[in-house]
């Protein structure tokens, strides 16, 4: 079975590619070589992959992070974040779902964020984009259910990737994530560690698998308890 993974060169995306390859998928990775904000480029890439065989699984893992206080965000930062994190999910999911429908089979997982449900300082654009991607994926799941196609969301918290380390100075990233930052109204991680990319990849692989055959429109949080179960 072919699995299409966007953001395949990123920390989580590359871990997903490895896990799915280990599970026997043929993985088609999409990263900066295809612009997910362009529906034309996405359509052409999906058509190219389908020439080799049907796409049976899609993982939307491409994402960008632009930080800053909401009142200070530039138009460009807001637009770029929504374009990749929300519109990109729409473009790729639409292109793949159109081809899954006649086959009446397939599974889609969008990698969102626990920030989509918990307010974070300096992350308004990112949180809004991930909330949009989450809502879109659930609505897509409702519309595709009659065709036997499942759509779910994995919402990671702090994960040991360059995106996380870029938020804090040097080695403080992991420690601050675990201990929390009371001044920023941010609790720590009850399990006492940040996630590894493979932790997230395992959740994605489960939701794509037959073990999740009766699970759709769900949002699985993988954050070590950082959002206290909300």
Catalytic residues: 126
DSSP H/E element including 109 = strand 106-111
Q: Who contacts 85 (Cβ-Cβ below 8 Å, separation ≥6)?
A: 62, 63, 64, 126, 129, 130, 132, 133
Cβ 153 vs Cβ 109: under 8 Å: yes
For the CA atoms of 58, 201, 118, 215, what is the dihedral angle to 10 degrees?
60
- Adjacent-strand bridge partners of 59: 5, 109
């Amino acid at each position: 079975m072919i699995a299409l993974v966007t953001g395949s060169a990123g920390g989580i995306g590359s871990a997903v590619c490895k896990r799915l390859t280990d599970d026997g998928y043929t993985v088609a990775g999409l990263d900066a070589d295809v612009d997910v904000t362009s529906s034309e480029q996405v359509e052409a890439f999906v058509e190219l992959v389908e020439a080799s065989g049907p796409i049976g699984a899609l993982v939307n893992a491409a994402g960008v992070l632009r930080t800053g206080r909401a009142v200070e965000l530039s138009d460009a930062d807001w637009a770029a974040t929504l374009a990749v994190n929300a519109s990109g999910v729409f473009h790729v999911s639409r292109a793949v779902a159109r081809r899954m429908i006649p086959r009446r089979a397939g599974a889609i997982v969008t990698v969102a964020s626990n920030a989509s449900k918990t307010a974070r300082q300096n992350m308004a654009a990112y949180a809004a984009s991930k909330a949009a991607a989450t809502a879109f994926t659930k609505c897509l799941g409702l519309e595709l259910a009659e065709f036997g196609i499942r759509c779910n969301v994995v919402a990671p918290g702090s994960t040991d990737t360059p995106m996380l380390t870029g938020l804090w100075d040097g080695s403080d990233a992991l420690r601050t994530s675990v201990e929390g930052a009371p001044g920023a109204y941010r609790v720590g991680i009850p399990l006492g560690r940040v996630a590894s990319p493979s932790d997230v990849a395992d959740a994605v692989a489960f939701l794509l698998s037959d073990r999740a055959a009766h699970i759709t429109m769900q949002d699985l949080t993988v954050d070590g308890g950082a959002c206290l179960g909300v």
